[in-house]
A and B are shown apart, each in its own frame.
Chain A
Amino acid sequence: ELKVEQNPLFLSMQEGKNYTIYCNYSTTSDRLYWYRQDPGKSLESLFVLLSNGAVKQEGRLMASLDTKARLSTLHITAAVHDLSATYFCAVDRAGSSGTYKYIFGTGTRLKVLA
């Protein structure tokens, strides 16, 4: 059974600091997704990583994927308060019928302190 774990679960950081969130998954997958969720809100797509070595950047966030290590990272550069949210990674997995579904990570709740 595919397991997706994130580390840390909670992260409190000062504005201006850098930090990395880690996403490990237990079985082979070539595709990994990062989502942001604000409290009580939906899931906003941040990054789609479709191959080994993929790196994508948007503003202060950068995501990478190492399929051999089954690891993705979400790096935050010079954090600002607006980045406070919960971040989820998700790996897609073929079901018995051949269609795919997401398996989500445990989530990392990020709080950026002014």
Chain B
Amino acid sequence: EPEVTQTPSHQVTQMGQEVILRCVPISNHLYFYWYRQILGQKVEFLVSFYNNEISEKSEIFDDQFSVERPDGSNFTLKIRSTKLEDSAMYFCASSERQKSGGYTFGSGTRLTVV
């Protein structure tokens, strides 16, 4: 069964450093998403991406965040200057079409900012 692949699985970074979280969505999917989950809390929408541009972003997705699809296969989330409160599990997801019956989520990247 096709999978959404995320790397790394765990990243520890110092406050103020830049991090890039990587995702390889399912190849025929057109819609891409990032969500995050602070430990023990619910899953929150960050950003959606379609047709090589951001479709929607949440209030969490401020100027410190950016997304890219640099080469047609990878989908990245960059945090320019990490803060302690960015520590969370970040999930990438993709879907073939909207109202399609659901996303496929990746296995997640646990980001720890120290």
Contact = CB atoms under 8 A, between A and B. Distances in A.
A63 to B, nearest CB: 13
**Interface size band for A:** 20 to 34
Interface string B87-109: 00101000000110111111110
Interface residues of B, number: 24
Nearest to B35: A102
B56 A97 contact: yes
Given A41-B107, A42-B106, A42-B107, A99 B42 contact: no
A42 B105 contact: yes
Given A48-B101, A95-B55, A95-B56, A103 B45 contact: yes
A88 B55 contact: no
A104 B42 contact: yes
Contacts of A48: 101-102
Contacts, number: 58
Contact of A106 (B42, B98, B108): B42
Contact of B44 (A41, A96, A104): A104
Nearest to B3: A42
Given A42-B107, A43-B105, A95-B55, A100 B43 contact: no
A96 B98 CA distance: 14
A45 B43 CA distance: 14
Given A35-B105, A41-B107, A104-B43, 5 more contacts: A48-B102, A101-B45, A102-B43, A102-B103, A104-B44
12 contacts: A31-B99, A31-B101, A33-B102, A42-B105, A88-B42, A90-B43, A99-B31, A100-B99, A102-B35, A102-B43, A104-B44, A107-B42
